[in-house]
Amino acid sequence: MIEKDKQTQRKLLDLIEEFYTQLENEEVPALQLPTRTKANIAYDDEAEVWVYGDRESTRSAKTTRGAYQLLKTSYVVDFLNTQLKQAKSSTLRELYYISENWDLAKFGEQQESDRLIEDLEIVSALQREDFHIRPEEDGASILGPIRVREQTRRGTKTIHCQDDVGEAGYQIPCNVDSLEFLEHNAKFVIAIETGGMRDRLVENEFDERFNAIVVHLKGQPARSTRRLMKRMSEELKLPVAVFTDGDPWSYRIFASVAYGSIKSAHLSEYMATPGAMFVGIRPSDIVNYELPTDKLTDQDIRALHSLLSDPRFETDFWQSEISLQLELNKKAEQQSLAKYGLDFVTDTYLPERLAEMGMI
């Protein structure tokens, strides 16, 4: 077992030993965790990201529900401990199915087991990758003028993410910290929400014309994708732009890239890119470009009102844009720019917007 895995194992076992200590002291076993709500995230001025505040909740064996949660925690730690010893790994989905054999500690749904892994990240100050837990393959990719060295099971390989890959690009690995950036000729990174728009940029050779690294987010971006963008921002000093649809769910995608997500605020310093800028689609674009739109659903409206009170969206820009969208009662997709032709987004919209933002 490598030293890093030993340290991970020790931290996990320390948690279980704490339960034993509490029992020996005739105390009811309990676990303190930050309250994971919008009301309990605070801005860290030094790191420039949103992190959990001081509010905590107690998971205690005083209640039946709390006792079951601690039991499930113990089972998961035992599983992770064994996995680390054997130098094996598993996916979040596999962990959920493995619990089928745990009788009283069985999870009711995968969301429950996913959340418990997040709890363990918080109390151990580690990441799930340290536990050898990985997500299902997400297929997110990058395409652009950068050469990387990847550590594989058969050694290392060097890949140029333009010259050595097809149009699908270079698939982002689960553990991007194993990547080494060798050289690049990029001026900026642009993250794209949808596959259709990503393909439009690739077909129109946007990456070559503007020396851009095009990142496909595939909707809500995976942690590995966010970590990679943070690394390129910090280590390569590349500005990052995020291009999404014009709806509340897409604004949250941007927020997860720039500020970190609420449910994983404990990892914001590791994954968030505070300097990331929102390119569009903006509600004001609906007016200025007279874009084809859809009417907001009741769910969209509730989500927009929620964003107005979300501290990640408290700037004048976002307050104004969200209020405008509620007034318009409309939303628009990235592909709506095709109203002006298939090349409009790469020849006009993005170059003009990126120039306004000082990125090109």
Inter-residue long-range contacts of 303-308, CB under 8 Å, 24+ positions, other chains counted: 303/248, 303/249, 303/252, 304/248, 306/38, 306/248, 307/248, 307/251, 307/252
Q: Known catalytic residue: 97?
A: yes
d(CA 258, CA 8) in angstroms, rounded, equals 28
User: DSSP labels for 220-236?
Assistant: SPPHHHHHHHHHHHHHS
Catalytic residue (choose from 43, 75, 97, 270): 97
User: DSSP labels for 171-205?
Assistant: EPPS-GGG-EEEEE--SEEEEES-HHHHHHHHHTT
Three-state SS at 133: strand
Three-state SS at 160: strand
Question: 44 pairs with which residues across the strands?
Answer: 49
Question: 148 pairs with which residues across the strands?
Answer: 159, 181
d(CA 109, CA 114) in angstroms, rounded, equals 9
Q: Which of 283, 285, 284, 276 is nearest to 253 (CA)?
A: 276
Count CB atoms within 10 A of the CB of residue 201. Answer: 22
d(CA 68, CA 26) in angstroms, rounded, equals 19
Residue with tokens 């290392």: 156
User: DSSP labels for 85-109?
Assistant: HTT--EEHHHHHHHGGGSGGG--SS
Count CB atoms within 10 A of the CB of residue 66. Answer: 17
Residues designated catalytic: 97
